[in-house]
Amino acid sequence: MSSTMTMSATEIGPDETMEQFVARLQRTVRDQAARLEGRAQRIKDLTIELGRKDTEVEVRQLTNTLEKVLARHCFAIPLPPEELRLHVGTKATASNFWAQGLSSSTRVMEIFGEQPQGPILDWGCGCGRTLRWLLGNEAWRQNYRGCDVDTQAIEWLREHVPCPVSVCHDNPPLPYPDATFDGLFAFSVLTHIPPENHRAWYEEIRRVLRPGGLALLTVQGSNVLGEPNRYRVPTDVLDELVRTGQAYVRHEGHYKDAALVNEQFTRQQLDGLLQLEEYAVAGYQNMDQFLVRRTS
């Protein structure tokens, strides 16, 4: 075997010029760097894969744990099918469904208390995202009423919850007599109803509330003007919102259309119907929250 075959990579060969030796060293360094980079990427890929598996295991463990805790300490109902969970959000994960319901039910009890004395309507109850967190309280089981346009969700709820739930429609009236409720709440319902129909729904809310009854409502307000890309709002729609105080965006999917209204528009629609007691821009998650009361 020739000496050039056994010499060290850092030794100059007897027949090499200095330029050739330097070029050979550079090739060697590049080759070694490429091998190291490949190994580093493989290690990174393995780490990500292992982390993903660990995360999946942890998610399953936490899901099972929460279901057992709910069953032991609350009036537990099954987790709705993934399809129904997508009807009330953009994520179908159990954690998102639970977290959103915990948030909305906490707000509901802040407004209406843990011991409601009369019937409260969950307008747009979906498949029970808020309801499941209220069921642990006897007073809420007695006084909760729910309705939704989603017939599949209502059918599922009727099989799994002890509370009365009903199908309603895109337009008034709601399936209840006059002055039925002490209170009403609706999270992200008016956000999917064309703005020109809002006043008709405020009239309907007034009709089903008893005098003195309170409603907790949300709308998608003008805060979208600050983050149009996040909300996928076209420029012409934003221009209309600025110009008229209202706009409507159509999206594919189950009730994914978006009604955009500013505070002034909402105040105008409520005028003469319901007393506005509180209005908070972006007061609930990314939506404006407001409280109205039927005074007479």
Which has more pLDDT, 89 or 280? 280
pLDDT at 138 over 50: yes
- Residue 211: helix, strand or coil by DSSP? strand
Amino acid at 9: A
Task: Report d(CA 158, CA 79) in Å as an integer.
Answer: 14
Task: Report d(CA 46, CA 27) in Å as an integer.
Answer: 29
Torsion of CA 8, 9, 13, 19, to 10 degrees: -160
Task: Report d(CA 171, CA 204) in Å as an integer.
Answer: 10
- Under 8 Å between Cβ of 288 and 221: yes
- Residue 234: helix, strand or coil by DSSP? coil
Distances (CA, A) of 15 to 3, 27, 101, 207: 11, 18, 78, 101
pLDDT at residue 265, rounded to an integer? 98
Least reliable range by pLDDT among 81-85, 95-99, 109-113, 174-178: 95-99
- Percent of the chain whose predicted confidence (pLDDT) is above 90: 58
Amino acid at 244: T
* Tokens found for residue 269: 């629609």
Strand partners, 284: 287
Query: Is residue 9 very low, low, confident or very high in pLDDT (cuts 50, 70, 90)?
Result: low
Query: Is residue 252 very low, low, confident or very high in pLDDT (cuts 50, 70, 90)?
Result: low
What would the pLDDT profile of 254-295 be if each residue is shown by its tens digit?
567 889 999 999 999 999 999 999 999 999 998 999 999 999
What would the pLDDT profile of 168-227 be if each residue is shown by its tens digit?
999 999 999 999 999 999 999 999 999 999 999 999 999 999 999 999 999 999 988 887
Task: Report d(CA 220, CA 197) in Å as an integer.
Answer: 15
pLDDT at residue 195, rounded to an integer? 97
Nearest to 144 by CA among 202, 192, 75, 81: 75
pLDDT at residue 161, rounded to an integer? 94
Amino acid at 238: L
- Residue 208: helix, strand or coil by DSSP? helix
Query: Is residue 232 very low, low, confident or very high in pLDDT (cuts 50, 70, 90)?
Result: confident
- Under 8 Å between Cβ of 147 and 165: yes
pLDDT at residue 4, rounded to an integer? 43
Nearest to 148 by CA among 119, 206, 188, 115: 188
**Does the predicted model carry a pTM greater than 0.75?**
yes
Q: What is the mean pLDDT of residues 238-244?
A: 94
Task: Report d(CA 32, CA 26) in Å as an integer.
Answer: 10
User: What integer best gives the mean pLDDT of the chain?
Assistant: 87
What would the pLDDT profile of 125-136 be if each residue is shown by its tens digit?
999 999 999 998
Which has more pLDDT, 163 or 94? 163
Q: Which residue's structure tokens are 């629609």?
A: 269
Q: What is the mean pLDDT of residues 41-59?
A: 71
pLDDT at 81 over 70: yes
